[in-house]
């Protein structure tokens, strides 16, 4: 994973070396709420259970960081680090076949769901007017995921690391110089899975090169194949700061 992060950072640094490029860093933090989180591992003959309906998922704090550059007026390259780690606990009134282990009914269980995302985005601004900007591009996402279940003296973990291409889009509406609305996201759907990460936020200029955002993000998606069935949705309440130089 360190090799991948080094490669992504080199891309950002190369883009920033272009004459006239502007850097920015964006921090985002808040609370993440589980909407649904359904799991079946193995995907064909495991037991399907829910980390939200069958177990109780906690509300978790989260933080994200984005580093990027904008150059030649309309081009942007961004590097995002977005970890997520959720724990659920409880009992299920049926046997759970998970990752080739059997967890008996009514066992005290703890499930862990980790979904760390590392993304490199290129976006081109097609519309650039006084109040409205719209851009679209591509995102390469490295997914580092883990689903675990423990209880009754047993533990089983399924890990998965892979590359996912996504479509990126961003729209900014600024009715005044101090206030704006941002819609930003990465999304793509295919035969065996889908992924959406979409933000809507209010923007507030704090002075100079500092801007604050308050908003809501939804992260949804999953995969259905022989190895794993997992589909989940998370809701984020967030605040963030963006500094440009």
- The pTM assigned to this predicted structure is 0.91
With 60 as the cut, is the pLDDT of residue 16 above it? no
Which CA distances in Å does 162 have to 140, 145, 159, 197? Answer: 10, 9, 10, 17
With 70 as the cut, is the pLDDT of residue 189 above it? yes
pLDDT of residue 15: 57
pLDDT of residue 216: 98
pLDDT of residue 9: 61
If you average pLDDT over residues 215-223, what whole number do you get? 97
* CATH class held by domain 2-244: mainly beta
pLDDT of residue 22: 86
Q: Read off the tokens for 206.
A: 């704090």
Average of per-residue pLDDT values in the chain: 93
pLDDT of residue 24: 94
Tokens 């390469």: give the residue: 140
Q: Taking the CB of residue 187, how many other CB atoms lie within 10 A of it? A: 16
pLDDT of residue 128: 94
Tokens 């390259």: give the residue: 77
Burial label, 73 (beta-carbon count in 10 A; 0-12, 13-18, 19+): exposed
> Could you give the CA distance from residue 201 to residue 105 in angstroms, rounded to a whole number?
43
Share of the chain above pLDDT 70, in %: 91
With 60 as the cut, is the pLDDT of residue 33 above it? yes
Burial label, 3 (beta-carbon count in 10 A; 0-12, 13-18, 19+): exposed
Domain boundaries, the chain: 2-244
With 70 as the cut, is the pLDDT of residue 12 above it? no
CA 119 from chain centre, in angstroms, equals 9
Strands (E), 72-129: 75-82, 85-90, 96-98, 101-103, 109-128
Structure confidence at residue 213 as a pLDDT band (50, 70, 90): very high
């Amino acid at each position: 994973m360190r090799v991948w992060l080094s490669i992504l950072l080199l891309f950002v640094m190369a883009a920033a070396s272009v004459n006239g490029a502007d850097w920015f860093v964006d921090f985002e933090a808040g609370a993440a709420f589980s909407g649904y989180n359904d799991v079946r591992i193995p995907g064909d003959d495991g037991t399907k259970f829910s980390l939200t309906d069958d177990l109780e998922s906690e509300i978790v704090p989260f933080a994200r960081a984005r580093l990027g550059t904008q150059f030649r007026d309309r081009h942007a390259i961004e590097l995002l680090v977005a970890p997520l780690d959720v724990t659920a606990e409880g009992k299920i009134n049926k046997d759970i076949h998970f990752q080739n282990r059997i967890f008996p009914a009514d066992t005290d269980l703890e499930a862990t769901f980790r979904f760390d995302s590392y993304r490199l985005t290129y976006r081109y601004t097609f519309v650039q007017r006084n109040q409205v900007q719209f851009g679209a591009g591509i995102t390469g996402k490295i997914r580092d995921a883990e689903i675990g279940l423990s209880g009754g003296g047993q533990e089983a973990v399924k890990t998965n690391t892979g590359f996912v291409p996504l479509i990126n889009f961003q729209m900014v509406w600024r009715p005044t110089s101090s206030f704006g609305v941002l819609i930003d996201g990465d999304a793509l759907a295919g035969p065996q899975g889908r992924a959406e990460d979409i933000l809507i936020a209010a923007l507030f200029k704090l002075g100079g090169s500092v801007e604050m955002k308050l908003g809501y993000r939804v992260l949804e998606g999953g995969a259905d194949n022989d190895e794993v069935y997992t589909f989940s949705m998370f809701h984020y309440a967030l605040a963030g700061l963006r500094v440009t130089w």
